[in-house]
Amino acid sequence: MTRTGRTAERVLPALGLAVVLAGAATVGVLPDPPPPPRPAAAVEVPVRGTVLGCTAFRGRDARFRSTTAAVPGSSGPSVVRPVRPAGAGDTVVVDGPGAVGLAAWRVETSEAGAAMTACPAPRTSWWFAGAGGGLDHRSEIVLTNVDEGPAVVDVDLVGTSGPVDEAALRGVTVPGGGSRVVPVVDVAPRSDEVAVHVTTSQGRVVAQVRDTVRSVQARSSVGIEWLPPAAPPATDVRVVGLVGGADRRTLLVTNPSDRQALVAIQVVTRDGAFVPTGAEEVSVDPGSVAAVDLTRAVGSAVAAVRLRSDTEILGAVRSQAGSDIQYAGTADVATGYLAAPAGGRRTTLVLQAADQPTGATATAWSTRGRRLETQGLSVPPSGLATWALPPDAAYVLLEPDTGRGDLVAAVVASGPGVAGMPLTEVPTTVLQPEVRMRTEEAPQG
């Protein structure tokens, strides 16, 4: 996250100065000084540099891919190329001259299931919902520093019984070009449901959370997934991208505030939106997490959830299919081009609207940079729209309709295992202050 400041000149009010000339009746008044220059307006310019980071997670096998998407100002669609960790380290950094339209991600499949996540740009604040430090549910927070200088990080955890007060989570130093792994079980043992907030007091990091859940039916089977980064807490939250074919659904509502939260729940499917019977609303204590069983309400359909509260909250839904897990999170509202990989044998794009109709144009691309198919999608108010990507798609690029309602989007994948992630913004432009030369006339002697 980048903060820009504006420096305003402090101009003292001019005092009118009267001069009386001896022996004359004429009184002269000096003119006021010229007004101060107006602050320079910010202008949009093409992105000149983008650095994206992932972690290889201690050398575990994963497929890292990157590409340049076909967006205005880019060099056009490129071949989807593999990216490997640099040297002996476990940090994967994607950089290059083609900054406009650059996207990168990791997709992994194993006996434990499937998982997918974006390789995002570093920033100073991250939110995650759905972590755990219990016996059957464990997460590891991975902090990656893609910059040269060290970063200093604070990690705040909120569980079902309240905030976690742990000195080891304060002032965590991540060296330049390195990573730190924080197992949740080490700092919050016996905490099955935990929300995570990562902030930096120095530098920036890429924060990611790898989650594992042991199956109740087959305790030797473990599902894996990377928690999707969540949009900051809000009073109107849309949890998009619940994978189809799940056996169990658990809604996780986090209240990070110091006030009681009363949260209204709405389930959204392609057939419409409805309030789930028996789970119409949930009360969440201050600084805690509440879990709600939505298995019967949602069923096996591809779906989304909308939460409305009187105080700011986070939301996520964990779906379990067999022994594998998938998370739907709170995505940011689309403001530009978005992209996500296709994973598994079947990948579905999911779009969710708020109170106004909206839509987008979606294009599926191959690993060779070839356009496979383009689809226009319309989303009704408080509704859902889906599109099954072509089987040989490598990724999907989404262009939201301008001038229409708010839109959030995700992809869900199945076979083998289940996985999903929200679409992330593809860099195209950045705001840059307009530089103006200031000239002043020399005073007259």
The DSSP code sequence of 84-117 is --STTSSEEEE--S--TTEEEEEEEEETTEEEEE
Q: Quote the CA–CA distance of 131 and 144 in Å, as a whole number.
A: 18
Q: Do the beta carbons of residue 239 and residue 316 sit within 8 Å?
A: yes
pLDDT tens, position by position, 258-268: 999 999 999 99
Beta partners for residue 347, in sequence order: 413
In the chain, the amino acid numbered 177 is G
Q: Do the beta carbons of residue 8 and residue 39 sit within 8 Å?
A: yes
Q: Quote the CA–CA distance of 302 and 320 in Å, as a whole number.
A: 13
Q: Quote the CA–CA distance of 409 and 386 in Å, as a whole number.
A: 10
Please give the model's pTM, rounded to 2 decimal places.
Answer: 0.84
Closest CA to 52 of 428, 360, 426, 434: 426
Secondary structure of residue 295 in the 3-state scheme: helix
Q: And the tokens for 386?
A: 């889906």
Beta partners for residue 328, in sequence order: 317
Q: Quote the CA–CA distance of 344 and 173 in Å, as a whole number.
A: 37
Q: Give the length of the chain.
A: 445
Collect all residues with Cβ–Cβ distance below 8 Å to 357 and sequence separation of at least 6. 378, 379, 380, 381, 404, 405
pLDDT in tens, the chain (445 residues): 444 433 333 333 332 322 222 333 334 556 666 666 665 566 777 777 788 888 766 545 678 899 999 898 888 888 999 887 654 445 677 765 678 899 999 888 777 678 999 999 999 999 999 999 998 899 999 999 989 999 999 999 999 989 998 889 999 999 998 889 999 999 999 899 999 999 999 999 999 999 999 876 555 568 889 999 999 999 999 999 999 999 999 999 999 999 999 999 999 999 999 999 988 999 999 999 999 999 999 999 999 999 999 999 999 999 999 889 999 999 889 989 999 999 778 999 999 999 999 999 999 999 999 999 999 999 999 999 999 999 999 999 999 998 888 999 999 998 888 999 999 999 887 666 655 555 455 555 4
Helices (H), 177-255: 184-187
